[in-house]
């Protein structure tokens, strides 16, 4: 079993415990809040610098006690990752111009808030997550209830009877942050097919996730379950989109790239478990027809 698989397996077995003894739980922020991210939280939320750390700790504890996801235990939500997408400049320009955007698996809504802080209007922002409590905590984290107009859907992308149907054919941008790597190849294909239903010609689908230099499937086991994930390299991501094209009758231009995990994880312990072959993968797909 690879390093990634071993750690995913342990995460799976710990998913339902909110114990602070979990290896996913780090009590300290450490280097995860660089000056640029700190400035974002201060300016957007209006909270004073001397109260920010305590505020972040309070929200993180409540989110962790709701669902103890590794991204919460390791403070990954502090630095909105959408800004590291190669497509970010284009996404920001389009959203500033009134384009619609959906953040799938939005967690606390930090990526949409980052766009808002950059001057994007929020009237055409949409978000979806399986855990509605996260969305409510997002209002408290950013102190923007009443001014942040994004609409939230408590929905499952795999449920075609979900409320996301209301957005079919309407989205200009769909963002998949740390999303596809949660599933195996066939599930990822079904997720992309559902995303394509939300799209129209010209739609941008952008995402960031854990990747792998070889593009590989890993399996993890816990006491009650075995789960399979597929971690992409640029070539396998392109192949996944080809299958999605063939099954939906659409055409997309796809670009993907990778970078070392250490470049996006300022705390080494947040990525060292992934092994030398893990990469941070970004992709952008633009619908042509």
Closest alpha carbon to 248 in 285, 209, 208 = 285
Looking up tokens 């800004």, which residue turns up?
83
| E strands in the chain | 101-104, 125-129, 151-154, 173-177, 204-212, 216-221, 226-231, 252-260, 278-287
Q: How far apart are CA 170 and CA 235, in angstroms?
A: 29
For residue 9, what pLDDT is reported?
46
Q: How far apart are CA 199 and CA 287, in angstroms?
A: 8
For residue 241, what pLDDT is reported?
98
Chain centroid to Cα 68, Å, comes to: 16
For residue 17, what pLDDT is reported?
58
pTM for this one? 0.91
Q: How far apart are CA 247 and CA 225, in angstroms?
A: 30
From first to last of its 289 residues, what are the pLDDT tens digits of the chain?
345 544 444 444 444 456 788 878 999 999 899 999 999 999 999 999 999 999 999 999 999 999 999 889 999 999 888 999 999 999 999 999 999 999 999 999 999 999 999 999 999 999 999 999 999 999 999 999 999 999 999 999 999 899 999 999 999 999 999 999 999 999 999 999 999 999 999 999 999 999 999 999 988 776 677 889 999 999 999 999 999 999 999 999 999 999 987 676 666 665 555 567 888 999 999 999 9
């Amino acid at each position: 079993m690879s390093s990634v698989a071993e750690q995913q397996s342990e995460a799976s077995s710990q998913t339902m415990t909110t114990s602070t003894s979990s290896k996913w739980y780090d009590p300290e922020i450490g280097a995860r809040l660089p000056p640029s991210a700190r400035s974002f939280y201060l300016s957007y939320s209006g909270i004073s610098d001397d109260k920010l750390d305590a505020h972040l700790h309070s929200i993180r504890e409540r989110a962790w006690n709701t669902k103890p996801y590794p991204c919460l235990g390791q403070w990954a939500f502090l630095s909105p990752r959408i800004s590291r997408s190669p497509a970010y400049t284009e996404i920001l320009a389009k959203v500033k111009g009134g384009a619609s955007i959906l953040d799938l698996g939005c967690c606390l809504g930090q990526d949409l808030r980052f766009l808002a802080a950059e001057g994007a209007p929020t009237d055409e922002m949409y978000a979806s997550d399986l855990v509605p409590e996260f969305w409510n905590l997002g209002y408290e984290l950013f102190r923007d209830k009443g001014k942040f107009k994004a609409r939230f859907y408590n929905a499952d992308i795999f449920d075609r009877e979900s409320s996301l149907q209301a957005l079919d054919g309407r989205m200009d941008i769909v963002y998949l942050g740390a999303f596809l790597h949660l599933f195996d190849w066939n599930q990822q294909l079904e997720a992309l097919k559902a995303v394509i239903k939300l799209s129209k010609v010209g739609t941008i689908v952008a995402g960031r996730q854990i990747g792998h230099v070889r593009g590989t499937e890993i399996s993890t086991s816990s006491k009650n379950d075995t789960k399979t994930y597929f971690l992409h390299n640029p070539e396998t991501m392109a192949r996944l989109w080809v299958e999605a094209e063939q099954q939906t009758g659409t055409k997309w231009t796809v670009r993907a790239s990778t970078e070392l995990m250490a470049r996006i994880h300022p705390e080494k312990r947040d990525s060292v478990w992934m092994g030398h072959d893990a990469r941070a993968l970004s992709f952008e797909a633009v619908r042509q027809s």
